[in-house]
Homo-oligomer: A and B are copies of this chain.
Amino acid sequence: MKIAFVGLGQMGSAMAGNLIRAGHELTVYNRTPAKAQGLAAMGAVVASSPAEAARGCDAAITMLSDDDSVQEAVLGAGGIAEGLPASGLHIGSSTISTALARRLKGEHLKRGQRYVSAPVFGRPEAAEAKKLLVVPAGSPEDVEACRTIFESIGRQTFVAGTEPWQANALKLCGNFMIVSVIESFGEANATMRKAGVSPELFLEVMNALFASAVYANYGRIIATENFEPAGFALRLGLKDVRLVLQVAEECLSPMPIASLVRDHFLEAMALGYAESDWSRLSAIPARNSGL
């Protein structure tokens, strides 16, 4: 397939690389062009705008950091919507709001284009290793048409529903599950430390109990307070919690742990941790216990 890829951060570059390796023909775009060099060396064509990247493609994938950057890259001047052929597919892999997913569906529809939301789970290492979990949603034919793409970037695909926004809702709820673990570790560790039990020992027990890589990875970062450099910036973690709270509001479904986590993220931001790893959220319960 001929694919445009827009957004070449750590995640996007890894995903685009795997698409090339799987035999797809790629045109890539990134606001900072330097990040496209590695992919160019692998054979990707570097475009000067999202529209140019999308021109003549079967599909265009976006992997950007937030709603604003997706809106700009898709609906702004020189955006994907301008370049993508009629019946071309836009696959949105960024973690965006359900509201924007609904808007993108409508905007593409107006232009005869098609839209599938396909957010992914996994940190950059997983993206490199082609081990992402891909969660698409959209019309069954559209999702089907993307299968080979999903298989080129991930290890498993889970179809969330027939409306694109449902995939974004699922992705946000998944991130909520992870951030809940971070907050829980933070609270338990603060108590353990004040009880004279080392967080390292507590982590060992939790690893034996949960036997989960998520617990092992975040647990280690948290126990060693090793929050720099960020794998995923705290200010983006706050953004995700804000988005999950918007889903909760749309669905009229209270999520009190999300509310509580948001308040702790605000405290973390006020302390200047915006660019630390989002797991630095766990430092808030420690601070609030006087440590």
Which A residues are closer than 8 A to B by beta carbons?
A: 98, 121, 133, 135, 156, 158, 160-161, 163, 165-166, 169-170, 173-174, 176-178, 180-181, 183-185, 187-188, 190-192, 194-197, 201-202, 204-206, 208-215, 242, 244, 247-249, 251-260, 262-264, 266-267, 269-271, 285, 288-290
Contacts and interface: CB of A to CB of B under 8 A. Distances in A.
A256 B263 contact: yes
Contact of A170 (B133, B160, B192, B290): B192
Contacts of A165: 195
Contacts of A174: 188, 202, 205-206, 209
A209 to B, nearest CB: 5
A180 B257 CA distance: 9
Contacts of A202: 170, 173-174
Contacts of A201: 158, 160, 170
Contacts of A187: 176, 253-258
A242 B262 CA distance: 13
Nearest to A168: B195
18 contacts: A166-B196, A166-B197, A170-B195, A173-B188, A173-B202, A174-B202, A174-B209, A176-B188, A177-B184, A180-B181, A184-B257, A187-B256, A187-B258, A190-B253, A191-B247, A252-B289, A256-B260, A260-B260
Nearest to A255: B187
A143 to B, nearest CB: 14
A290 B267 contact: yes
Nearest to A122: B209
Contacts of A156: 208
B191 A255 contact: yes
A209 B205 contact: no
Contacts of A206: 174, 177
Contacts of A166: 195-197
A194 B270 CA distance: 10
A126 to B, nearest CB: 10
Contacts of A257: 180, 183-184, 187, 257, 260
Contacts of A192: 169-170, 173
Contact of A208 (B158, B181, B253): B158
A205 to B, nearest CB: 5
A289 B212 contact: no
A197 B177 contact: no
Highest count of chain B CB atoms <10 Å: which of A166, A254, A267: A254
Contacts of A263: 254-256, 259, 288
